[in-house]
Every structure is written in structure tokens, then in C-alpha cells.
């Protein structure tokens, strides 16, 4: 008679697989258990058996050679996990309807006696058994029964311990990866800050203007980092990046944005965020947004060639003060150049009389 699935079969199988013990190599600690049980119970066969969805698999076995698994349909232990109690003892399997037509009973090796103690999780789910089998009908005495139960508890504790160790190792590996990633991000951020400080110091006319500019630039960098943190430092929305930068200014109603939804990787987000900050700051102080009629248009598009996604952003100012090309290369031009080059991109500033225009192009 083939055993029917356990009432909580899906949950039971999921629990079994969560221990990560199926199909693992033999281990001395488990092999010792079945050897001890075979000797204490005076039987030719003993196993530590786990019942998977379609098979029974032996973590350890004594007396059955290299056999590691059999189909679940012929597994004695499939009946045990349906048993209400922690042990199932069948003195003569030929007289039990559950086992009488089993090929291991009717044919070779003509088994007659079976006793098993359940391997049960803390939640009460049966994963398998520790069992002993004999060729002849018989019984276990009280001492043997007690040892079989104790061994089952010890085996279950060992299985649980192995999962705990594996989970701890995985957690430690993840922590090491996170620390390495954090170190990488901190180094990158510090490198950007250091570059901002150096370039701001060279461009500032005096200490107060340096303090003002570097504070604003670091704040802009922090806002971009905050967006990245919300997305596990993986991606940031260009539209959100623009909205964050524009939120610091009252002139945002005179800024028009158009372009598809695009997600930037961490490096690109930092680059674009800093470039937009410089363009916005200059527009508010000296450019189109410094006068009531001025307008700024930000347009972007994404193209893909040979698997590489490229973002092109165009910044166009109009109706502002007349623009004169600077006498020397300013901070904004230098920053845009350096930042975009880091991503294999490019930046161009055009000081047209009717308003500044900028074009950024970078891989995302």
C-alpha cells in the first residue's frame, strides 16, 4: 500500500529543503549513528532517511552498500511520517497492510521487521526517520527503543546545527560583500568631494564664496546619494534627480522638462546630479533664471547601440541676460568635463548671446 502525502506536504518538503542537506556527501558523525544503532539494536540494516517529494534519500546507511536513495513509493519511512507518534514499530511487516505488498517484503531482501523514530522540526513537521530493519520478525526492548529515540533527536539537532552554521556563513559572506561595497562607495564619494574642494578652492575669489559654493555642491551630492540609498545604491530616476535639484530653487516654474523615463546607474547619477547642480546654480545667479522672463528647457533621450545605453541631455537657456563667453575656463566647464569623462562621456558648453546651452552625453 503506497503512503499518501502528508497533510502539510508542501510545507514539509519546503522545510526539508531549507536545511540544505539533501544530496550532500556522507559525514562521519551521521555514519557513526547508524553503526551504533545497528549494534545496539542487533540489526543488519540501519539508516538516517529523509523523505523528499518523490524519493527517500539516505544521509547515512549501514548494511545497504552504496545505495543512497529509492523511490518514495516503496519507502517504509513514507508511512512513518504519516504516523501520529514519534515512533513507528512494526514487529512483522508481512502482517501490516501498509507493508505487505512492498517489493522489499515480497521479494529480495525479504524484510520483516521495521522500527523508526521521526526526525521532526520544532514546528512539528516530519522530515524523515532514523530507522532499523531486520530480516526476521522481532521487537525492540525498552533500552533499544529509548536509544533509537535519543539518536533521532541528536540527528535532528545536528541537521539544524548545520543549517544554522550555513546561514551564519552566508550572513558573514553577505556582510563582507556589503562592507567591501560600502568601502568602495565611500572612497568614490570622498574622491568626488576632494575633487569638488580642490576645484572650488581654485575658482573662488575669497573664503566666503568658497564656503558658499562648496557647501552647496556637497549638499547636491548628498541629495543624489540619498536617492541612490533609497534604491540600494543601484539606480536613480533622472526625473527624480531633476526634481530634487530644482526643489532647492523658487524659479522651477520656468523650467521645462521633456524626455522618457530613464534609470541611471550610481556613477551616472552622481555625474548627472553634479552637472545639473552647476548648470542650475549658474542659471539662477547669472543666467536665464536670474531675470523674470528667463526660461530653461531640459530635454533628454536614450539610445542604444551594440548593447550600450547612452543618455544625451540638452540644457537650453533663453530670454535671459546677454551672454558673453568667459575670459577664462570656469569651474562649471572644468567640472562638467571631468565628471563626464569618468563615465566615458562628454560635455559641451556653448555661451550663445541668447543664452547658455549645454549638452551632456554619457553611458548609463
Chain segment 236-245, per-residue pLDDT in tens: 888 888 888 7
Residue bearing the bigger pLDDT, 129 or 214: 129
Residue bearing the bigger pLDDT, 271 or 144: 144
In the prediction, which pLDDT does 339 show?
59
pLDDT digits (tens, 9 = 90+) for 1-34: 667 777 788 999 999 999 999 999 999 999 999 9
DSSP states of 131-197: EEEESS-----HHHHHHHHHHHHHHHHHHHHHHHHHHHHHHHHHHHHHHHHHHHHHHHHHHHHHHHH
Same fold, 9-168 and 218-363: no
In the prediction, which pLDDT does 183 show?
60
The residues with which 311 forms a beta bridge, in sequence order, are 302, 362
The Cα–Cα gap between 320 and 19 comes to 68
Residue bearing the bigger pLDDT, 285 or 209: 285
Phi, psi of 214 (to 5 degrees): -70, -35
Q: What is the mean pLDDT of residues 335-364?
A: 78
Q: Judge residue 231's burial from the number of C-beta atoms within 10 Å of its C-beta, 0-12 exposed, 13-18 middle, 19 or more buried.
A: middle
pLDDT digits (tens, 9 = 90+) for 215-234: 666 776 677 667 666 666 66
Which cell numbers hold the place of 279?
548648470
Among the ranges given (39-43, 131-135, 182-186, 358-362), the one the predictor scored with the smallest mean pLDDT: 182-186
Closest CA to 341 of 362, 314, 319, 311: 362
Confidence band for 180, pLDDT divided at 50, 70 and 90: low
CATH of domain 9-168: 3.30.450.40
In the prediction, which pLDDT does 51 show?
94
The DSSP bridge pattern shows strands 308-318 and 355-363 to be antiparallel
User: Residues 224, 241: contact at Cβ < 8 Å?
Assistant: yes
The Cα–Cα gap between 362 and 364 comes to 6
In the prediction, which pLDDT does 330 show?
59
Dihedral angle of Cα 66, 72, 74, 80, to the nearest 10 degrees: 100
Give domain limits for the chain. 9-168, 218-363
- 286-289-295 Cα angle (round to 5): 130
DSSP state of 292: T
The Cα–Cα gap between 202 and 332 comes to 12
Tell me which fold the domain 218-363 belongs to. Answer: Heat Shock Protein 90 (3.30.565)
- What are the residues whose beta carbons fall under 8 Å from the beta carbon of 186, sequence distance 6 or more? none
Amino acid at each position: 500500500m503506497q503512503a499518501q502525502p502528508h497533510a502539510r506536504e508542501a510545507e514539509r518538503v519546503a522545510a526539508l529543503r531549507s536545511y540544505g542537506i539533501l544530496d550532500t556527501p556522507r559525514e562521519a558523525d551521521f555514519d557513526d549513528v547508524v553503526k551504533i544503532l545497528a549494534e545496539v539494536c542487533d540489526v543488519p540494516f540501519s539508516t538516517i532517511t529523509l523523505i523528499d517529494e518523490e524519493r527517500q534519500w539516505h544521509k547515512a546507511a549501514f548494511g545497504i552498500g552504496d545505495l543512497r536513495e529509492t523511490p518514495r513509493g516503496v519507502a517504509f519511512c513514507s508511512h512513518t511520517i504519516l504516523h501520529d507518534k514519534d515512533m513507528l514499530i512494526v514487529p512483522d511487516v508481512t502482517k501490516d497492510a501498509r507493508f505487505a505488498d512492498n517489493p522489499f517484503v515480497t521479494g529480495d531482501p525479504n524484510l520483516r521487521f521495521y522500527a523508526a523514530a521521526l526526525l521532526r522540526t520544532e514546528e512539528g513537521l516530519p522530515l524523515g526517520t532514523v530507522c532499523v530493519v531486520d530480516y526476521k520478525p522481532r521487537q525492540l526492548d525498552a533500552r533499544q527503543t529509548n536509544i533509537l529515540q535519543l539518536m533521532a533527536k541528536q540527528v535532528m539537532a545536528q541537521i539544524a546545527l548545520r543549517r544554522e552554521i550555513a546561514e551564519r556563513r552566508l550572513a558573514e559572506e553577505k556582510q563582507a560583500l556589503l562592507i567591501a561595497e560600502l568601502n568602495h562607495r565611500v572612497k568614490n564619494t570622498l574622491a568626488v568631494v576632494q575633487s569638488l574642494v580642490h576645484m572650488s578652492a581654485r575658482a573662488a575669489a575669497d573664503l566666503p564664496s568658497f564656503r558658499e559654493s562648496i557647501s552647496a555642491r556637497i549638499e547636491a551630492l548628498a541629495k543624489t546619494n540619498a536617492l541612490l540609498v533609497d534604491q540600494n545604491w543601484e539606480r536613480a530616476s533622472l526625473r527624480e534627480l531633476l526634481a530634487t535639484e530644482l526643489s532647492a530653487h523658487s524659479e522651477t516654474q520656468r523650467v521645462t522638462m521633456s524626455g522618457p523615463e530613464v534609470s541611471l546607474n550610481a556613477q551616472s547619477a552622481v555625474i548627472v546630479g553634479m552637472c545639473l547642480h552647476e548648470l542650475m546654480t549658474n542659471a539662477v545667479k547669472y543666467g536665464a533664471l536670474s531675470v523674470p522672463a528667463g526660461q530653461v528647457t531640459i530635454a533628454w533621450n536614450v539610445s542604444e547601440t551594440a548593447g550600450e545605453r547612452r543618455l544625451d541631455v540638452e540644457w537650453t537657456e533663453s530670454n535671459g541676460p546677454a551672454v558673453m563667453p568667459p575670459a577664462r575656463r570656469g569651474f562649471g566647464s572644468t567640472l562638467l568635463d571631468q565628471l563626464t569623462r569618468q563615465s566615458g562621456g562628454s560635455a559641451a558648453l556653448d555661451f550663445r548671446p541668447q543664452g547658455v546651452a549645454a549638452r551632456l552625453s554619457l553611458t548609463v
